[in-house]
Structure 1
Amino acid sequence: MGQLDGRVALVTGASRGIGAAIARRLAAEGAAVAVSARTAAEGESRFAGTITETVAGIEAAGGRGLAVRADLSRPADRVALVQQVEAGLGPIDVLVNNAAVTWFTPVTEFSDKRFALMFEVQVTAPFDLARRVVPGMRERRRGAILNISSRAAIHPPVERAGRGGTVYGMCKAAIERFSTGLAAEVHADGIAVNALSPNRVVPTPGTLFHHLTTEGAPDAEPPEVMAEAALALCRPSPLLTGRIAYSQDLLAELATRTSEPS
């Protein structure tokens, strides 16, 4: 019996990297997993990985998956995404907001278009998707919403030269405050809402492209660590909510709990 048997999960930004790893992990625990991103076929992105490949991996492992192409900067795509997942798999029990579009540019050089797009995908889309799934979760009195964040949300020391991550940090700080606020609003309904960040930079096509880490870096965090921590925040028991969690710290905390004598 898997920890998520009978549940339906939606993971955005799941064509590669952290999102794909989380989708595979939730599926391995019995969830029917819908994966969404803009990249459905090879050649649609400069980066390797597609939602079609993610679903193929889930199904090859004996799971059930559904690929739904969506551009989360478009409100109509967000509406259609939820509708297609519910039509194909059923009501959504787990929502993982992982999709992101990012530029690392100093504030004085940041264009209005890029600023608006980053907030639309990383802040407005998670807010909108949560509003669309919470009513059904309330009716069933169960559910989990997980927003993927970053240590970039932490205020940097002013003495350190910036790398153009101010807007990215603004987005992640906003998603963390949204997570704790929504967690308080839906706590009585049995719905968990959390934000999760890696302790270390995860080597993904995006972080490698932005030179945030290198392939094989000794201090890098494998995406599977984030996936395991995500599972802990999405499973029904024990219900963890209102957390601004860091993957390795959370897993160490839970390991300590299970090793303590009852």
Structure 2
Amino acid sequence: MKREPRNGSERSFMELAGKCAVVTGASRGIGKAIALRLAAAGMDVLVCARSEHQSDPNLHGTIVETAEQIRRLGGRGVAHRADLADTADVRSVIDRARLEFGRVDVLVNNAVHIGFGSILEAPADELDTALAVNLRAPYLAAKLVLPLMISQGGGAIINITAPGARPAPVEPAPENAPPSPFRFPIHPGYGISKIALEAFTNRLAHETAPHAIGVIAVEPQFVDTEMARWLLRPDFDASGMHSPDLIARVVAEIARNPMAHSGEVVSAQDFAA
């Protein structure tokens, strides 16, 4: 039976009611906001991440807490611990969703690995980890979920990318150039993997178009999350940062009609405006 949205302000998301989603990296930040927004629209949501128990004093939030908040909204929230660098764990996420829900209508690949250090400083396998979590896991999750979506007659695969995927001009830094906003240098594997994720989004969209499955990359800018606050320098002006819920609202809106933007890299801020 199709459920009504659970909040009067969510009536525009009525098409999502009664459907099911998987959101990776949903213990906190953008992933958690997306999971709760989809749940408020009437969806059941499986949330996965490594954070099953609170262990990091700098980063609060667990998938158990997210699932509980989904249940408070009246939906079914399932917490599933997974290390997405591990192929078996990626498979277990989709298997669990199939077991719990019998279907997956929306897959949000949000989990991310951000490495630190320059090419000279960081070990070579830092690139391997970035590619495993930020590219191979979304690739494999999509591959595993597609048969379900095809049998259902459609769906949405939404990949969360990053402004770090955009090539930047190489210019000598002026003497009075402002310092990097980050406390630590971000490893280039992060940007490399996000560029590849955007290319994958477009190529997969061509493949899934005949099945009414939209594949979209959503690009946030600076988002006010605990991770961002930890990464940014203490003197960084955070007044222009966006809330995780803005990204979540964009994802939910795109999920309503994914074919309208399939194959695109959508700027969350521009879309919201």
TM-score, scaled to structure 1: 0.90
User: For 2:172 and 2:239, how far apart are their aligned partners in 1?
Assistant: 23
Root mean square deviation of aligned Cα: 2.0
Q: Does the CA contact (< 8 Å) of 1:192 and 1:240 recur in 2?
A: yes
Q: Give the residue type in structure 2 aligned to 1:210.
A: L
- Matches of residues 236-247 of structure 1 in structure 2 within 5 Å? 236=257, 239-247=260-268
83-92 or 15-24, which deviates more: 83-92
Tell me if the contact between 1:39 and 1:45 (Cα under 8 Å) persists in the aligned partners: no
Tell me if structure 1 keeps the 8 A contact 2:153–2:211: yes
Matches within 5 A, 1:179-258: 179-198=201-220, 200-211=221-232, 217-236=238-257, 239-252=260-273
SS in 1 for 2:238: coil
Q: Give structure 1 stretches of 5+ with no counterpart.
A: 253-262
Deviation larger for 172-181 or 58-67: 58-67
Superposed displacement of residue 213, structure 1: 8.0
| 1:8–1:93 CA contact under 8 A, matched in 2 | yes
SS in 1 for 2:157: strand
Q: Using a 3 Å threshold, how does the CA distance of structure 1 residues 197 and 212 change in structure 2: closer, same or farther?
A: farther
Alignment partners' CA distance in 2, 1:112 and 1:95: 30
2:137 counterpart letter in structure 1: A
- Per mean C-alpha deviation after superposition, the further-off stretch among 205-214 and 3-12 is 205-214
Matches within 5 A, 1:94-173: 94-159=106-171, 163-173=185-195
Pair 160,212 (structure 1): closer, same or farther in 2 beyond 3 Å: farther
What is the SS of the residue equivalent to 2:45?
Answer: strand
Please, which runs of 5 or more residues in structure 2 have no aligned partner? 5-13, 174-179
TM-score by length of 2: 0.86
Change (3 A) 1:178 1:213: farther
Q: Percent identity?
A: 36
Which one of the candidate residues 28, 32, 36 is aligned to 1:20? 32
Contact 2:216 2:258 in 1 (8 A): no
2:54 matched to 1:33?
no
Corresponding residue for residue 95 of structure 2 = 83
Q: C-alpha distance in 2, partners of 1:111/1:131?
A: 30
Q: Contact 1:203–1:215 (CA<8 Å) still a contact in 2?
A: no
Moved over 6 A (4+): 212-216
Aligned equivalents of 1:214, 1:179: Cα separation in 2: 36
